Structure 1
């Protein structure tokens, strides 16, 4: 029942309030706000969902769903500082001094008509290859030896004018219309509609500014972030942290002894070495790897590139790292930590599945 919060929840809220005051003296919680947040936390613990009606039932009607909903959406709580304060509590509580930042994006499916939900748009479903209407989030989690927890997120909204142009351009190309006769690509409005890479760089800067004493070992992201510009800026923001992403198989590379070739063609010239890779939880898995320090044409500089495939896979995936002083096995191993982002997504989606 949600009549009274557990002592651990009360202690957490007191510590959270102290952190808020240290960030901004005017951001501290009022008594009623602490009560409401206590109900939210207890409600999630007891019902394993975010569901106002369920919270009301479990409190035997003491906390009305309408009142809780109003408090969550309308109360003047410093939500932007709340996550920062929570992260600070965890770092201090467990004495965490270093970690790896993992980045990814996910979509929240909504109904087909969402006039009252901001930022809803057409999103590609990675699991089916189709599309759905929903909202898109860019997440950043901190992976440590103690725990893995979210430290930042942003809503992503694509430029509607650019999206409309892509749709029309695709239709015209199918009709066989020549490029010179198709409308020109509009200039993207990155101020109003920043890219996922830009949103992530902002989150990285905010984390570094908020927690200057935390050493960032590495930054992990998928192929969307495997651009030279993003990798260079991310490394600069974090004081030279290793940045690991992925390249496409058709990207052009070269070294001192070979002419320019695609990644697939370059690594097909030699047989991969079979080895055991230590992945999550200390588990060992059979993999085939190749590695080389190559000039990546799209980046305009040399990178450490690792061709990697797990047992049973036919095609390599191509990891790219900014710091070439690392061993290729260490780069491949740390990149396996990206699975923890997926775990965070699945856990969060299970919790909000019952939202009401």
Structure 2
């Protein structure tokens, strides 16, 4: 049986249950719920999907797909507290007391018609410039001196009325219709369809309320979050943490000595200073930097703005920080940590199941599927080998490496159960029979055996017509007599 809760999974669930009880005594897991969660996590490890039929096959029929599906949707598990309890467990095990929060969003491509998948909508494809239908998530990752791991997520759904207005307004502008003749922008419904910034602020508030003893040093986000409202509220929620984002090159700034100008024009007045920037606490890279405390018109206040350009780049990128008491080199250095949230998303998509095959229906299906995948990510962080490496300030193993180790361990556990049984021959035959019954058998469309492909030869009744046609064609090609 390849899907069998291994000791590392069992230990993780025991610790998770203890953490749940510390949050809410009535939220503790029953024995059957522990078994179900263990099968879910091991299923993700072995198959890299969240697929009940695949789980049944890899468990050699012991755990039925219908039973697993029922447990997923109907079991009274405290799903909303699982992630918080798991984060609490990691913070306690590693003794983490401070860190930096990095925020980013990502999309999951779905088919064109997704009537039963919650929150699917049209998403901009950053790699191609086109669009696809899918789900969109906002992740919040805690970056510490020891480990980097997810602490929160939200599904993002745009306001459909606002999206329809934008589409229509764009078409009318292309037709040359003036603004006064175009429909007015509808009031956005922020209650039913909160923005990504609003979702992130809610996650920040939840994290601060759940873990008041954790000091947040900084909040890192891309240009989408570089608004004055978001930066001020994020700093307020986290007790004055540094908030670093990006500004567009055409945003207006000014200082005491110069009139209002765009960021690009302002920083083009002087040559940047070349220096070495330490990237994520490791290698150094040659960069060109300029910095100034400027009044940002869109924010209505002064910000610390840094123009940064890496070696080989032609244009500056513009970082903006809320706390002006930091050195500009420290701001640029800590912002390099934002890349780690993208690394997490890549690992999560590749190894934790939800991104590869997850067709759970409804809002509960999507939410619980992501929670399971993040629990799998947390379990990998508490793997004994990983834990020893990180606690001793050594480089940890990537998620893919840990998944391979767990797969090998699951295979060895299955073989060991056969070898150590009282009747190995009988157990081996039972294992072979279970494999035969559970392995899928599908029809291939590649091979033509059993299909009617027609005669595929000349027909006698048409041969005379073919000869006559060929003769007429030859006559037509003869040169015309002068």
Q: Same fold (TM over 0.5)?
A: yes
Change (3 A) 1:344 1:285: farther
Paired residues, number: 352
CA offset digits 1:298-342 (Å, max 9, x no partner): 1111100000111111111100000011111111111111111x9
Q: Aligned in 2, Cα 1:343/1:234: closer, same or farther, shift over 3 Å?
A: farther
Alpha-carbon spacing, 1:40–1:148, altered in 2? closer, same or farther (3 Å)? same
Deviation of 1:281 (Å) = 5.0
Deviations 1:141-171 (A, max 9, x none): 1011111111011111111111111000000
**By how many angstroms is 1:6 displaced?**
1.6
Equivalent position SS for 1:197:
helix
Question: C-alpha distance in 2, partners of 1:11/1:352?
Answer: 94
Cα contact 1:243–1:321 (8 A) shared by 2: yes
Q: Tell me which structure has the larger Cα radius of gyration.
A: 2
1:3-54 CA-to-partner distances (Å, cap 9, x unmatched) read 5322221111111111111112221111111001111122222333333333
Shift of 1:85: 0.2
Counterparts in 2 of 1:167 and 1:350: CA distance versus 1, 3 Å: farther
* In 1, Cα distance between equivalents of 2:304 and 2:280: 22
Identify if the C-alpha distance between structure 1 residues 146 and 83 changes in structure 2 by more than 3 Å, giving closer, same or farther.
same
1:200 to partner: Cα distance: 0.5
* TM-score normalised by structure 2 residue count: 0.69
When structure 1 is superposed on structure 2, of 219-228 and 61-70 the one drifting more is 61-70
Q: Describe the superposition over 1:164-187 as per-residue Cα deviations: whole angstroms up to 9, x where unpaired.
A: 110000000001111111000001
Task: Give CA deviations for 1:75-98 in whole Å, capped at 9, x if unaligned.
Answer: 221111000000000000000011
SS of residue paired to 1:257:
coil
CA, structure 1 residues 351+17, in 2 after alignment: closer, same or farther (shift >3 Å)? farther
Q: Secondary structure at the match of 2:244?
A: strand
**Unaligned segments of structure 2, at least 5 residues:** 341-469
SS in 2 for 1:330: helix
Q: Following the alignment from structure 1 to structure 2, what is the Cα–Cα distance between the partners of residues 25 and 348? A: 95
8 A contact 1:221–1:338 mirrored in 2:
yes
Whole-Å separation in 2 of the counterparts to 1:93 and 1:243: 28
CA distance in 2, matches of 1:107, 1:46: 24
- Is the contact between residue 157 and residue 193 of structure 1 (CA under 8 Å) also seen in structure 2? yes
> Equivalent residue of 1:108, what SS?
strand
CA RMSD of aligned residues (A): 12.3
Rounded to whole Å, the distance in 2 between the matches of 1:186 and 1:202 is 24
Q: 1:56: Cα distance to partner? A: 1.7
- 1:256, distance to aligned residue in structure 2 (A): 0.9
Question: In the alignment, is the contact (CA less than 8 A) between 1:83 and 1:151 conserved in 2?
Answer: yes
The one-character-per-residue Cα deviations of 1:216-255 (angstroms, maximum 9, x if unpaired) are 0100001111011100000000000000000000000011
Native 8 Å contact 2:280 2:334 kept in 1: no
User: By percentage of residues, which structure has more helix?
Assistant: 2
Q: How big is the shift at 1:2?
A: 3.9
Question: 1:130-151, CA deviations, whole angstroms, 9 ceiling, x for partnerless residues?
Answer: 1000111111010111111110
Answer whether contact 1:23 1:85 (CA < 8 A) is retained.
yes
Q: Could you give the per-residue CA deviations for residues 281-306 of structure 1, whole angstroms, max 9, x where no partner exists?
A: 50111111111110101111110000
Q: Is the 8 A contact 2:2 2:59 kept in 1?
A: yes
**CA shift for structure 1 position 70:** 2.6
Question: Is the contact made by 2:3 and 2:46 (CA closer than 8 Å) also made in structure 1?
Answer: no
**How many angstroms apart in 2 are the aligned matches of 1:155 and 1:288?**
37
Q: Is the 8 A contact 2:3 2:43 kept in 1?
A: no
SS of equivalent to 2:46: helix
More off after superposition, 281-290 vs 196-205: 281-290
- Residue segments in structure 1 that go unaligned for 5+ positions in a row: none
TM-score, normalization by structure 1? 0.93
Q: Please tell me whether the aligned partners of residues 121 and 133 of structure 1 are also in contact (alpha carbons under 8 angstroms).
A: yes
Q: Contact (CA 8 Å) 1:110, 1:133: kept in 2 or not?
A: yes
The higher-RCO structure (CA 8 Å, 6+ apart) is 2
Greater share of strand residues, 1 or 2?
1
Residue 211 of structure 2 corresponds to: 211
| 1:79-124 residue CA offsets vs partner (Å, 9 max, x unmatched) | 1100000000000000001100000111111100011111111000
> C-alpha separation between the residues in 1 aligned to 2:237 and 2:476?
28
Task: Give, in angstroms, the shift of residue 347 of structure 1.
Answer: 70
